[in-house]
Structure 1
Amino acid sequence: MLLGGRLLTGLACGVASLVAPVYISEIAYPAVRGLLGSCVQLMVVTGILLAYVAGWVLEWRWLAVLGCVPPTLMLLLMCFMPETPRFLLTQHQHQEAMAALRFLWGSEEGWEEPPVGAEHQGFQLALLRRPGVYKPLVIGISLMAFQQLSGVNAIMFYAKTIFEEAKFKDSSLASVTVGVIQVLFTAVAALVMDRAGRRLLLALSGVVMVFSMSAFGTYFKLTQSGPSNSSHVSLLVPISAEPVDVHVGLAWLAVGSMCLFIAGFAMGWGPIPWLLMSEIFPLHVKGVATGVCVLTNWFMAFLVTKTFSSVMEILKPYGAFWLTAAFCILSVLFTLTFVPETKGRTLEQITAYFEGR
């Protein structure tokens, strides 16, 4: 039953992670699309925080029951929501599309109707020759890959151990602390998304992650000592009869690096790849293209999770985290070179940009 429930939950999360960003981007007014699109990740980290808090006081069985409440509410509330105007236009339901638009926006002001003809129905491999399709597809896949290669899962794996080594008495409280940082900085990102722009936040987020991962690798390098490869380092000071444990002090370096990384990730590389994925694809290939991007994200998450311990054995812990810092550097360079700014543009204008119009 546990395995079956986990399988169904995974399938549902996969569908939601694909559909929710696309739905929001298609119903949102351009001026607030960044704010609303970032709310996907904000709600994800808020849910994680609430799960941490609930897990602090509830048995796991009751935690699973509590987890039924949000999807039940979503199921009921989505009954009152219309299909997106763009989808209705692909079904040649023009009146219904305009009615949905008036329901969502209040008026048709600012609406730019997408061209929907026979040539725009469905995805074909021949479309990959068009720059308006292959360029955003390469960008979307790369963003999802870099998000997972940043090392966010590795950091989360070590969160509990790091807090314990820093002498936190309650590891559950440490998890809640991590969740609070995620929520706060994701909320900040959502608020400034439509002012600062996507590229700037991605670049700043990447730079912060480079420094935090480098410091994290330095922590592992400093705590590795002697032929026994012990992670415990003690310094004997001549004027004191008691040994001074440097390990606890260095553990606080790890705590600071981890908190800095989580804040930096939440400001950019957490929410923005999902937001950009929902913005950059033309209407006629959006379903398939976003599906490929989501599949890339979850596959890379699996790959990093599965191989990270082996990488640590080969490169040592400090080498593994310095490797993630190198991937973060590549993500910054990729952002500055290839990722366009979508702030304030309609979805049709973004498509026209990739097509060279």
Structure 2
Amino acid sequence: MSFGFVLGYSSPAIPDLRSISDPRLRLDADQASWFGSIVTVGAALGGLLGGWMVERIGRKLSLMFCSLPFVFGFTVIIAAQNVWMLYIGRALTGLASGVTSLVVPLYISEMAHERVRGTLGSCVQLMVVLGILGVYAAGLVVHWRWLAICCSIPPTLLMVFMCFMPETPRFLLSQGKRREAEEALRFLRGPDAPVEWECARIEDACEEQGSSFQMSDLKDPGVYKPLVVGVLLMVFQQLTGINAIMFYAETICEQAHLPGDVGSVLVGLVQVVFTAVAAVIMDRAGRKVLLVISGVAMAISTTSFGVYFYLMSQQPRTPTAALDVMATVAPALDLRWLALCSLAVFITGFALGWGPIPWLVMSEIFPVKVRGFASAVCVLTNWSMAFVVTKTFHDMMDHLTSAGTFWLFASICSVNVIFTIVFLPETKGKTLEQIEAIFRGTSGP
């Protein structure tokens, strides 16, 4: 939720900061762009930091410490006296978001039973979009400084509540702490669960892999295959056009006679509802099926977006007769609803699959000894691609036109579907050790 608050904060805050009376804090168009996008730079660095932290101090302490830059970042924003303080605050919260986006899926995958790992893993994205929706809704009534105060509450609670949570059994066993691992499993599974058997199974996998990661391990198919899959999932997630669609969401809603801020809340609500649906059915439908459905839905919606922009570009701008006015107004009304329906289909499709599942799969497919390094590479890739797509989007629109840009996104969504069918193994209902065996080409335990 803290992560979602950071992502959503710029949407309601930027209009306030662009109209503020204080010239030291007032943002122009370029400054507003950096205020929104500098989070991705901090998050990319946070992915690297998180990969180092989870291996050195563990999953639990990494989660507790990442709440500090969240709180410090929002504190700097609250106390901001100039634009640079706003940038620093956003960069710090972005850094914390990068750590969080790595550690939370990892923590959940290592402590969850395989029968519910998909559902719990999908709750990561569910809470992110719930945080985005919460900050959009709060932004309707709360000033940007008070909104930053509200955003600092969830990370504060994170540090408090994590004091009562155990470290993950897999990390404890990788450190040779068998007794602590059994205690953690009893806390997670219940006092009557066969924790000794589960500990033994995890220990065997850890011993087979060795104790620590070396660069030579990248020659191992059990390492480089899931790493390639994880990186491509993150690349494809950002190339679906999600940032472009969200960029246009407010304008599209306004054209459909919905106030822009209310439209943002409705978009957030759709994301929450269908991400929750994905969480409920994840361990029944499976990852591959949902990714395919999601990719097809997004390919259709981005294609129709391209049609919308193409038809809009063909309409005459300066009609000279009353009949011309009537001829252009009627199609325009229809085109507004084409755009709105396309937006709804895209957000629904993304929330069902390509939103939550890349993060879930990232947390499932890596062997224990390379989990920190490989996850850091994936998070760095995701946030770097987010920054590149966001910053080059206007150039793409200039060179390819709006229609061409969205048709490019549609073709990439089609490639996503092919990639999912051909290269992604199904991880539903499998233990983490069985998933590792699939990439190694051996039979799982």
TM-score range, shorter chain: over 0.9
1:299-314 map, 5 Å: 299-314=384-399
* SS of match in other structure, 2:140: helix
Take 1:265 and 1:325, find their aligned partners in 2: how far apart are those partners? 13
* Percent of residue pairs identical: 56
The alignment's TM-score, normalised by the length of structure 1, stands at 0.95
Does residue 16 in structure 1 map to residue 100 in structure 2? Answer: yes
Please say if residues 132 and 354 of structure 1, whose CA atoms lie closer than 8 Å, have aligned partners that are also in contact: yes
Distance 1:348 1:242, change over 3 A: closer
Q: Which sits farther off after the overlay, 178-187 or 110-119?
A: 110-119
| Deviation, structure 1 residue 71 | 0.5
Residue 269 of structure 2, aligned match among 173, 180, 185: 180
Residue 64 of structure 1, aligned match among 129, 136, 148: 148
Superposed CA offset, 1:137-182 (max 9, x none): 00000000000000000000001111112222x2111011000100
| Deviation, structure 1 residue 125 | 1.4
Distance 1:63 1:235, change over 3 A: farther
User: 2:182 is aligned with what amino acid?
Assistant: M
* SS of match in other structure, 2:428: coil
Take 1:74 and 1:126, find their aligned partners in 2: how far apart are those partners? 37
Does residue 142 in structure 1 map to residue 235 in structure 2? Answer: no
User: 1:17 is aligned with what amino acid?
Assistant: S
Superposed CA offset, 1:320-349 (max 9, x none): 000000000000000000000000000000
Take 1:205 and 1:192, find their aligned partners in 2: how far apart are those partners? 14
Aligned counterpart, 2:437: 352
Q: Which sits farther off after the overlay, 283-292 or 1-10?
A: 1-10
User: 1:28 is aligned with what amino acid?
Assistant: A
Superposed CA offset, 1:200-241 (max 9, x none): 000010000000000000000000026x8x5x9999659x97
Does residue 153 in structure 1 map to residue 239 in structure 2? Answer: no
Does residue 293 in structure 1 map to residue 382 in structure 2? Answer: no
Take 1:84 and 1:296, find their aligned partners in 2: how far apart are those partners? 25
Distance 1:242 1:118, change over 3 A: closer
Superposed CA offset, 1:8-52 (max 9, x none): 101100100010000000000000000000000000000000001
Residue 298 of structure 2, aligned match among 188, 209, 222: 209
| Deviation, structure 1 residue 116 | 2.4
Residue 281 of structure 1, aligned match among 366, 387, 400: 366
Residue 108 of structure 1, aligned match among 194, 218, 221: 194
Structure 2: give runs of 5+ residues left out of the alignment: 1-84
Aligned-residue RMSD, C-alpha: 2.0
Please say if residues 233 and 246 of structure 1, whose CA atoms lie closer than 8 Å, have aligned partners that are also in contact: no
Aligned counterpart, 1:195: 284
1:160-179 map, 5 Å: 160-168=250-258, 170-179=259-268
Take 2:319 and 2:311, find their aligned partners in 1: how far apart are those partners? 8
User: 1:32 is aligned with what amino acid?
Assistant: V
Take 1:171 and 1:300, find their aligned partners in 2: how far apart are those partners? 27
Take 1:258 and 1:135, find their aligned partners in 2: how far apart are those partners? 34
| Deviation, structure 1 residue 293 | 0.3
Take 2:228 and 2:206, find their aligned partners in 1: how far apart are those partners? 24
Does residue 340 in structure 1 map to residue 425 in structure 2? Answer: yes
Residue 38 of structure 1, aligned match among 108, 122, 133: 122
| Deviation, structure 1 residue 243 | 6.6
* SS of match in other structure, 2:194: coil
Structure 1: give runs of 5+ residues left out of the alignment: none
Please say if residues 235 and 244 of structure 1, whose CA atoms lie closer than 8 Å, have aligned partners that are also in contact: no
Take 1:254 and 1:82, find their aligned partners in 2: how far apart are those partners? 47
Does residue 315 in structure 1 map to residue 400 in structure 2? Answer: yes
Aligned counterpart, 2:73: none
Does residue 73 in structure 1 map to residue 147 in structure 2? Answer: no
Take 1:265 and 1:243, find their aligned partners in 2: how far apart are those partners? 33
Residue 132 of structure 1, aligned match among 210, 216, 222: 222
Aligned counterpart, 1:83: 167
Please say if residues 205 and 264 of structure 1, whose CA atoms lie closer than 8 Å, have aligned partners that are also in contact: yes
Take 1:278 and 1:339, find their aligned partners in 2: how far apart are those partners? 14
Distance 1:244 1:10, change over 3 A: closer
User: 1:57 is aligned with what amino acid?
Assistant: V
Take 2:220 and 2:226, find their aligned partners in 1: how far apart are those partners? 10
Give the length in aligned residue pairs.
Answer: 352
| Deviation, structure 1 residue 120 | 2.2
Take 1:36 and 1:344, find their aligned partners in 2: how far apart are those partners? 13
Distance 1:356 1:223, change over 3 A: same
Take 2:334 and 2:345, find their aligned partners in 1: how far apart are those partners? 17
* SS of match in other structure, 1:113: helix
Please say if residues 202 and 335 of structure 1, whose CA atoms lie closer than 8 Å, have aligned partners that are also in contact: yes
Take 1:214 and 1:16, find their aligned partners in 2: how far apart are those partners? 34
| Deviation, structure 1 residue 298 | 0.1
Take 2:350 and 2:289, find their aligned partners in 1: how far apart are those partners? 13
Distance 1:175 1:92, change over 3 A: same
Please say if residues 21 and 37 of structure 1, whose CA atoms lie closer than 8 Å, have aligned partners that are also in contact: yes
The alignment's TM-score, normalised by the length of structure 2, stands at 0.76
Residue 50 of structure 1, aligned match among 125, 129, 134: 134
Take 1:225 and 1:38, find their aligned partners in 2: how far apart are those partners? 42
Moved over 3 A (4+): 232-238, 240-245
Please say if residues 234 and 247 of structure 1, whose CA atoms lie closer than 8 Å, have aligned partners that are also in contact: no
Residue 356 of structure 2, aligned match among 251, 271, 277: 271
User: 1:222 is aligned with what amino acid?
Assistant: L
User: 1:41 is aligned with what amino acid?
Assistant: Q
* SS of match in other structure, 2:313: coil
